[in-house]
Amino acid sequence: MKAMLSTAVGGPETLEWTEIADPKPAKGEVRIAVKAAGVNFPDTLIIRDLYQMKPERPFAPGGEVSGVVEELGEGVTGFAVGDKVIAMTGFGGFATQMCAPAASCLKMPEGMPFEDAACLVLTYGTSHHALKDRANIQPGETLLILGAAGGVGVAAIELGKAAGARVIAAVSSEEKAQFCREVGADDTLVYPREMDKDAQRAFSQQIKDLVGPGGVNVAYDAVGGMYAEPVVRSMAWAGRFLVVGFPAGIPKIPLNLTLLKSCQIVGVFWGASTRQDPKGHLENMQDLFALYAEGKIKPRIGTVFPLQEAGKALEYIQDRKVQGKVVLKVE
């Protein structure tokens, strides 16, 4: 088998295209012939040892894949050789083959392309858990999404619309704003690429002018940094501010704002939630498969790279050039 391996701490340029022995599934695992792998922001962190999970090197990044079951490990039930599956593994996916716990696998819905399957679970799973479980979003509420043109942001647009919310997509360029409108956002805001105190005040006023005196009921922050505080200042009474990611850095929020707004700052750790509440996770996946079948959600795949260009795909993610999802295709 071949894999893009992280052999040293560093950026995408440190990945090495390597041939290694085919893996053998351990007890409770299946071996998957990988057909497609989703590329996500955590993949840029894990190779720098900046993620919660720090695998022993050498390892392949890549936390979500789709493919075909090739071999069953001891004790595996519910799967058969030839089954098309989606697997969430944390790492190991940038490879032609991988072994994954059967418990982390889902059978692909009939007719779903491998590329869509590899881009569905992490982004839509994160956003569905955030909006449904953590925010309890309601029809008619206003949802503001920071970083709305990225994978989880696009998922949040579609899921927010499916929930009956008014969706405002906040992005860093007019090109991305147009993309979000095409996805289904009701309104868009363009914020500056660099944020200082003056820009924060202007951005906060921009939000307030758009949403009106009612404020933002649910904020979905997949950006962090200095972009977070202007949104908190624009929250509605009893609003919910969802903490999803920090590509712009970890924000520092004056907590007096939460008192004045009587709003909540709510953490969203989807990966841990799937382990804490596996039954709820499976219910959410069935929700997503149903929404996909109804045409209400569909991964917007902006760019496809061959597996051996995984480094370029990660650069695309870290440079915030992405619109929708990036996927690696295994020939």
Q: What is the pLDDT of residues 34-46, one digit of tens each?
A: 999 999 988 999 9
The pLDDT score that the predictor gives to residue 317 is 87
Domain shared by 108 and 230, yes or no: no
Domain shared by 245 and 319, yes or no: no
Domain shared by 70 and 189, yes or no: no
Last residue of a domain, one of 234, 252, 271: 271
Give the domain CATH number at 252: 3.40.50.720
Domain shared by 103 and 133, yes or no: no
Tokens of 233: 């200042």
Domain span holding position 139 = 123-271
Give the domain CATH number at 84: 3.90.180.10
Domain shared by 165 and 74, yes or no: no
Mean pLDDT score across all residues of the chain: 95
pLDDT in tens, 184-240: 999 999 999 889 999 999 999 999 999 999 999 999 999 999 999 999 999 999 999
Domain shared by 39 and 128, yes or no: no
Tokens of 251: 């924000």
Distances (CA, A) of 126 to 6, 35, 85, 121, 153: 25, 22, 19, 8, 10
Taking each helix axis from N to C end, the angle separating 151-162 and 174-183, rounded to the nearest 10 degrees, works out to: 40
Domain shared by 231 and 242, yes or no: yes
164 inside domain: yes
236 inside domain: yes
Instruction: Of 317, 307, 310, 312, give the one whose Cα is nearest residue 33.
Output: 307
pTM exceeds 0.85 for this model: yes
pLDDT band at 319 (very low <50, low <70, confident <90, very high): confident
* Nearby residues of 22 by Cβ (< 8 Å), 6 or more positions away: 1, 31, 97
Domain shared by 260 and 139, yes or no: yes
Domain shared by 70 and 167, yes or no: no
pLDDT in tens, 269-306: 998 999 999 999 999 999 999 999 999 999 999 899 99
Domain shared by 116 and 128, yes or no: no
C-alpha–C-alpha distance, residues 300 and 295, integer Å: 12
288 inside domain: no
Domains contained in the chain, number = 2
